[in-house]
Structure 1
Amino acid sequence: MLPLHLQKSLRPGWAIAASSRTRAFCAGFSSSTSLNGYSDTIHNLKIGKHTRVIYQGFTGKQATANAKDSIEYGTHIVGGVTPGRDGEHLGLPVLPTVKAAKEQLNPDATAIFVAAKYAAGAIEEAIEAEIPLIVAVAEHVPIHDMLRIHSILQTQSKSRLVGANAPGIISAIGRCRIGFQPLPTFSPGHIGIIAKSGTLSYESVASLIRAGLDALRVFEHDDDTEGIILVGELGGRAEEEAADWITAYNSRTKRPKPIAAVIGGIRAAKGRVMGHAGAFGGPGEISAQKKHNILKRAGVTMVDHPAKFGNVMKGLLAGAGKDVRKIKQSAARSQRRGMHTSQRILRRPSTAILPSQVAATTQRRGLKVRGQQAADLLTQFDNSITAYAEDDMTSRPGNLKHLCMTVDREARQPCMMVSFDTDRRKLKKSTRRFTFSYHEGPDRQTIQNILQHLQLNVVSPSTTAVVTQLIKSLFDFWKQKEAITISTEFLIKDDGTVALYTPRMLFDDAAFKSKGRQADVHALRNRDAEDPAELEAEAHGIVYIKLEPQNPNYNIGTLVNGAGLAMNTVDAIANHGGNCANFLDTGGKATSDTVKRSFEIILRDGRVKVIFVNIFGGLTDCGMIAEGVMLAFKELGLTLPVVVRLRGTREEVGQKMIAESGLQLHAFDDFEEAAEKVIQLAREEKAKAD
């Protein structure tokens, strides 16, 4: 079974694993954003017993623990790098630079286990040393750092990047893990998995194994691939492109392979970032429900939780006349093969999008600034700009046009979304996306195309010059201040000057929290206007969002690790007939104290009648989670019923601790059974209260 890779910080596209024989399909699913050298590195993703792996940050606590497990698994680790060190660690050489490691150890891949503030530098050092495969797992790497890294990657043909904020890459066939996937979950097989969520990919793998189907991520033309699973979620546009590809695949193929999928985030809070990574709907990106619908229309069998994939895929394979026992037996004969992964990026020209959030970006990936503060930031940056906040507008001017500087997450480049009409009823047809180089910014041709779409290509030269300067200034401000999105409407006045109206901005919090940059911008944050429970959660590395706070029927508290699994837990509980009071993502490095703090925060919501702990550990340790649950009972005097489901890393330890705790806990291994119990308890507790 092979897991995913994922760059969550930009949330680009799918993570795909495949067998070594999948060559033709790789060309169609190349992650290259243009015809350049980076597309030639796709073969670097093929890993197996032959792969020589080094660690950057080798002597650190996390890297040490991970390396021990990976070595025991069979990964061919040949040494590592720690700046300023030269010696041995775990009986393997330690070198002071990646360049020295490349010369002396000849690695095929590097696992970067360093803090977020050092991750971009470590990636760049690995690129300079021409390490073929670079895997970065750190969370909270600033978005603009990764945009800069991707602009570098597109200029070379030696190195391939998986990450950052990724669980990594693994070959169960080749016994090679570069990441932190829960090893007991993965075994060789023949179901291809394409995923955007680490925890949901673990769920998918576990479901297939329990159903008697072992999973292997492979592509269309691999003879051993009998079925395909997609795991998508809120954010990005890759699911739309996948639906287009599936429609074409089904029409051109006489016996297409069955495809099943799940989309997380259907019941996500609108305008909020659902977790640590990129799980939010950006400008022009459709909702999770719409993604679900377009995949269903494309012929994909949809499920509401990955735990259902096993039985669903068995049924689909049987319906297609496949022998499931033969599939499983053939996996054992494939042990010699390796695999590779790629990200699916299908570049399109500037085409119409669904701009449900073009006019106003309300997500909180970081700091949201609007009104007079946003207007002041722009005019201070470029004194030639005249900007008006909402309060300054006595009446809405006519003939407004729209500009939105943001990130194209599929292309991993900046882009400008423009519309010649701000009437929401016409935005779908009037908005276009123009993508360009992060390093160079919008070039002359891109600006000319923008002007033409704005219907300004026939105005006076002086007006053209003013709008051109506005486009350049917005990009410069966006880049220098490390914004995610800058959205504004503008008007060409009778005197030929340009005035901006209702500017809205969203800034990357990782730039400030991880690197200490943009302190002046983030000093504008008004904590007094924010939810105290969310602020406390943030202080402990937890993402907590109260759902439908005015509805008393939302009475199930959730404590989950990973944005994808947390979103899907909310979705699946709703499909079972219950309602979750909150989204809570403990993050990938949850400790027993994190779990106790999570209970404290959940219990602040008086609506909560039962708490559901749903963990599928990769980096998260199930034993640590169990300790946290017991700590919460001991220190908080819990009286509400608690349902606990633990899977993944050290699951047997955590499950045993819960079973032997003597506490009034309801422990489950199966998600469906746990969900049914949670809803039953919620109804019983509500009946008691009534």
Structure 2
Amino acid sequence: MVRRQLLLGSTSRRHFSFSTSARHNSYENTISNLKIGKHTRVIFQGFTGFFGQMTDIWQATANATESIEWGTNIVGGVTPGKNGEHLGLPVLPTVREAMEKLKPDATGIYVAAHQAPGAIEEAIEAEIPLIVTVAEHIPIHDIMRIHSMLKTQSRSRLVGANAPGIISAIGKCRIGFQPLPCFMPGRVGIVAKSGTLSYEAVASTTRAGLGQSLCIGMGGDVLAGTNFVDALKIFEHDDETEGIVLIGEIGGEAEIEAAEWIKDYKQRSPNPKPISALIGGIHAAPGRVMGHAGAFTLPGEPDALTKIKHLEAVGVTVVNHPAKFGDAMKVLLGKSGRASAGAAASGLSQRRSMHTMRQGRPTRKAAASYLATATTAIQKRNLYIREELALDLLRERGINASEYSGRGRKRMLAVAVDRANLSPCIIASPATSTGDPHAQAKKFAFDYKQGFDVGQAPAIAEHLQLGDSSKESLPKLINGLVDLYMKKEAFLLETMFVERLGELKVVGARFGFDDAAFRSTKRQSGIHGLRRTEDEDPQELEAEKDGIVYIKLAGDGNIGTLVNGAGLAMNTVDALADAGGKAANFLDTGGKATSETVKKSFEVILQDERVKVIFVNIFGGLTLGDMIANGVLLAFKELEMRLPVVVRIRGTNEEQGQKIIAESGLPLHAYDDFEAAAAKAIELANG
């Protein structure tokens, strides 16, 4: 049983005083656990084991070795059923025993998605202060159950899932798989949904001579254990942080909540810390999941432009590419009058360019293992089924459902994820059939474990503007939808219904299920069997086989994009549009950004006859620049390429990669600056 007590930390751990709200009051008391540093005692769960079924990858060992060399205070680890030593550190069979004997402040969970929920729950029960989960594709309903646990306690704080982790550049403490060569101790705090965009932001602030204090990977999952406001509260009280970078994207309302917090912060602070931000997904494909599990918009959620407007309205400087963060923060810090506008003194002597830094740079084998943790070959996360199949599922539950006859006012009723409350919710809208059904959407959250409270039905009926004769039918429809949602692990059950003779009749349905429940844990095989691949784009299906997320964008786009990382892929499409270009696709090579995957990506892009040039935009945090360059050459050789290719490679081994491209003798154009590369791609596409 998880005890409901206030966390009393050791004298070595720094704590701050935060105001708490009625919502998640107990869990909010754990925000101070995010302040990691040299004092932080770290353990690894899955310390000695292989990562999932990938027996060629010894993930935790490679990561721990590098982190220890960098300075992280790893004190041991946990592998079920084992007692002994690994890397000269103790290995214990349970997290509870590790907590008692090793007294960790934090745990890094390095297990596969199907094992991660159990590992997180074990860490919560052992009351470890900070739990960092990097695995992607943890089923949504498992995460909702975990959040239901977290809300009832005040000792453990979760970072992730689907996150690169958390890292203190000043304190030399890394819990995650961030590329160490990018980091330099400094004064900028960073919080981000996207791992790759955060690495670009880190590299930019390093090149600007500012460095970083604390970087928190909020992660791209549907329900994050730590959000923007949590991070902002840490940065506000952190004397080592002088400026703040926030990186968001489509999905949820965390950026809007951050804007509201920033407004209040600026009103109460005589000299607020400057903040710069980037929001990805302005040109996201409607109704699609853009690489990250949480990068899609649910009914009633704001789009990327709305988030940008809210942030700009409270004085946040918004940039359109992460490479601009360094210069933007230098200007903002200068205007703020803060004395510490440069890097931390402890970091000045350690500054290196990323392509020349040798100590701590991941090997090819280690880099591949890190990437596998964040993104496995299971890229597809959502499963939308045909409407007729959705109506069949409702009829099986005794719900009146058929095609719309053209009579009756349509209203919207859905069961979905409430990202603000970290729980399921009912979404209702009284909008007419001629209007936007999401325009008046209102959420009614309910606890995952306790289920829907029928006492909420009258308020939902009132919002839907139902007639008196049909109000009594609403609980039956809601309970039927909730039952389906819970038992079949849906993330969205959206219906349109009409009132008919005192009853409610469903006349339209859009049902989305969590495909990770099948792919990660082999649950919901029946629902997975409802997938109809003949309804999907053949190119997208072909890419999926190789672990590549490819989405063909509508319109007359003529620039094929090939990018590593979902956030960076979204931003590439957006930034090309700002420069006057039109992307034909979204493509995220994900964690399999190898030479072979680059070639496969070219094959998929070349099937789109609209494409006149291919733009390769790679940030080599963990991916190596020379490996990507060789992949480009491999594609030219084996595919007999006829189209020009523009290649932007930054980060690890960037000079080697650029040299390979420049000396190839092929129609390739190598750049390190994004704007110059984008301009060349647009010129070639329109030439």
Provide the rounded CA distance (Å) in 1 between the counterparts of 2:563 and 2:489: 30
CA contact (8 A) 1:559 1:598 kept: yes
Q: Which of the numbers 102, 105, 109 marks the counterpart of 1:108?
A: 105
Q: Which of the numbers 81, 89, 94 marks the counterpart of 2:91?
A: 94
Provide the rounded CA distance (Å) in 2 between the counterparts of 1:455 and 1:680: 54
Q: Map 1:438-477; keep pairs closer than 5 Å.
A: 438-455=448-465, 459=468, 464-477=471-484
CA shift for structure 1 position 613: 1.9
CA contact (8 A) 1:183 1:649 kept: no
The DSSP-based 3-state class of the residue aligned with 1:666 is strand
Provide the rounded CA distance (Å) in 2 between the counterparts of 1:331 and 1:424: 62
**Residue 168 of structure 2 corresponds to which residue in structure 1?**
171
Q: Which of the numbers 122, 125, 131 marks the counterpart of 2:122?
A: 125
1:403 aligns with 2:418: no
404-413 or 92-101, which deviates more:
92-101
Provide the rounded CA distance (Å) in 1 between the counterparts of 2:77 and 2:663: 40
Provide the rounded CA distance (Å) in 1 between the counterparts of 2:405 and 2:499: 18
Provide the rounded CA distance (Å) in 2 between the counterparts of 1:273 and 1:321: 42
Structure 2: which amino acid aligns with 1:111? G
Q: Which of the numbers 475, 478, 485 marks the counterpart of 1:478?
A: 485
Provide the rounded CA distance (Å) in 1 between the counterparts of 2:311 and 2:541: 37
Cα distance change, pair 292–395 in 1 and its aligned pair in 2 (3 A): same
1:149 aligns with 2:146: yes
The DSSP-based 3-state class of the residue aligned with 1:309 is helix
**Residue 341 of structure 1 corresponds to which residue in structure 2?**
none
Cα distance change, pair 226–126 in 1 and its aligned pair in 2 (3 A): closer
**Residue 78 of structure 1 corresponds to which residue in structure 2?**
75
Q: Which of the numbers 34, 39, 43 marks the counterpart of 2:28?
A: 39
Percent identical residues: 61
463-472 or 264-273, which deviates more:
463-472
CA shift for structure 1 position 568: 0.5
Structure 2: which amino acid aligns with 1:35? N
CA contact (8 A) 2:493 2:509 kept: yes
Structure 2: which amino acid aligns with 1:474? L
Q: Which of the numbers 328, 334, 349 marks the counterpart of 1:312?
A: 328
Provide the rounded CA distance (Å) in 1 between the counterparts of 2:553 and 2:32: 44
**Residues matched between the structures, number:** 620
CA contact (8 A) 2:491 2:513 kept: yes
Cα distance change, pair 624–302 in 1 and its aligned pair in 2 (3 A): same
Q: Which of the numbers 527, 530, 537 marks the counterpart of 2:536?
A: 530
In structure 1, the gaps of 5 or more residues are 1-18, 336-363
**Residue 347 of structure 1 corresponds to which residue in structure 2?**
none
CA shift for structure 1 position 33: 4.1
CA contact (8 A) 2:412 2:437 kept: no
1:23 aligns with 2:16: yes
In structure 2, the gaps of 5 or more residues are 1-11, 51-57, 215-233, 351-379
CA contact (8 A) 1:467 1:498 kept: yes
Cα distance change, pair 248–318 in 1 and its aligned pair in 2 (3 A): same
Deviation string 1:613-644 (CA, Å, 9 cap, x unpaired) is 22224454445434433332332233433333
Q: Which of the numbers 573, 597, 602 marks the counterpart of 2:600?
A: 597
CA shift for structure 1 position 658: 4.9
CA contact (8 A) 1:182 1:648 kept: no
**Residue 44 of structure 2 corresponds to which residue in structure 1?**
55
CA contact (8 A) 2:14 2:32 kept: no
The DSSP-based 3-state class of the residue aligned with 1:170 is strand
Provide the rounded CA distance (Å) in 1 between the counterparts of 2:111 and 2:426: 33
Cα distance change, pair 238–329 in 1 and its aligned pair in 2 (3 A): closer
**Residue 679 of structure 1 corresponds to which residue in structure 2?**
682
Provide the rounded CA distance (Å) in 2 between the counterparts of 1:270 and 1:512: 25
CA contact (8 A) 2:387 2:509 kept: yes
TM-score (norm 2): 0.84
Cα distance change, pair 255–57 in 1 and its aligned pair in 2 (3 A): closer
**Residue 211 of structure 1 corresponds to which residue in structure 2?**
208
Cα distance change, pair 127–386 in 1 and its aligned pair in 2 (3 A): same
Provide the rounded CA distance (Å) in 1 between the counterparts of 2:434 and 2:334: 47
Provide the rounded CA distance (Å) in 1 between the counterparts of 2:415 and 2:44: 37
**Residue 7 of structure 1 corresponds to which residue in structure 2?**
none
CA shift for structure 1 position 657: 5.4
CA shift for structure 1 position 150: 0.9
Q: Which of the numbers 359, 378, 401 marks the counterpart of 1:387?
A: 401
Structure 2: which amino acid aligns with 1:483? A
**Residue 562 of structure 1 corresponds to which residue in structure 2?**
565
Q: Which of the numbers 596, 617, 640 marks the counterpart of 2:643?
A: 640
247-256 or 127-136, which deviates more:
247-256
Provide the rounded CA distance (Å) in 1 between the counterparts of 2:127 and 2:238: 29
CA contact (8 A) 1:581 1:607 kept: yes
**Residue 343 of structure 2 corresponds to which residue in structure 1?**
328
CA shift for structure 1 position 221: 4.1
Provide the rounded CA distance (Å) in 1 between the counterparts of 2:456 and 2:564: 42
Provide the rounded CA distance (Å) in 1 between the counterparts of 2:138 and 2:623: 19
The DSSP-based 3-state class of the residue aligned with 1:387 is coil
Provide the rounded CA distance (Å) in 2 between the counterparts of 1:682 and 1:259: 36
**Residue 617 of structure 2 corresponds to which residue in structure 1?**
614
Provide the rounded CA distance (Å) in 2 between the counterparts of 1:251 and 1:101: 45
Deviation string 1:583-609 (CA, Å, 9 cap, x unpaired) is 101113433322221111111122323
CA contact (8 A) 2:411 2:433 kept: no
Structure 2: which amino acid aligns with 1:434? F
Cα distance change, pair 623–509 in 1 and its aligned pair in 2 (3 A): farther
1:282 aligns with 2:298: yes
1:507 aligns with 2:521: no
Provide the rounded CA distance (Å) in 2 between the counterparts of 1:228 and 1:424: 43
Provide the rounded CA distance (Å) in 2 between the counterparts of 1:205 and 1:104: 36
Provide the rounded CA distance (Å) in 2 between the counterparts of 1:465 and 1:410: 29
Provide the rounded CA distance (Å) in 1 between the counterparts of 2:211 and 2:42: 26
1:234 aligns with 2:258: no
Deviation string 1:501-559 (CA, Å, 9 cap, x unpaired) is 212211111112111211111212111121111001111111101123x51xx222211
**Residue 574 of structure 1 corresponds to which residue in structure 2?**
577
Provide the rounded CA distance (Å) in 1 between the counterparts of 2:614 and 2:663: 20
Deviation string 1:642-679 (CA, Å, 9 cap, x unpaired) is 33333345556655655666655433333233323333
1:197 aligns with 2:197: no
Structure 2: which amino acid aligns with 1:469? K
CA shift for structure 1 position 182: 0.9
Structure 2: which amino acid aligns with 1:328? A
Cα distance change, pair 649–86 in 1 and its aligned pair in 2 (3 A): farther
Deviation string 1:225-255 (CA, Å, 9 cap, x unpaired) is 4332221211111122222233333344444
Provide the rounded CA distance (Å) in 2 between the counterparts of 1:604 and 1:291: 35
The DSSP-based 3-state class of the residue aligned with 2:142 is helix
Structure 1: which amino acid aligns with 2:400? T
CA contact (8 A) 1:21 1:222 kept: no
Cα distance change, pair 426–678 in 1 and its aligned pair in 2 (3 A): closer
The DSSP-based 3-state class of the residue aligned with 2:610 is coil
Deviation string 1:321-341 (CA, Å, 9 cap, x unpaired) is 4456x5435565999xxxxxx
The DSSP-based 3-state class of the residue aligned with 2:114 is helix
**Residue 4 of structure 1 corresponds to which residue in structure 2?**
none
The DSSP-based 3-state class of the residue aligned with 1:68 is helix
Cα distance change, pair 437–95 in 1 and its aligned pair in 2 (3 A): same
The DSSP-based 3-state class of the residue aligned with 1:291 is helix
More relative contact order in 1 or in 2 (CA 8 Å, sep 6+)?
1
Aligned-residue CA RMSD in angstroms? 2.8
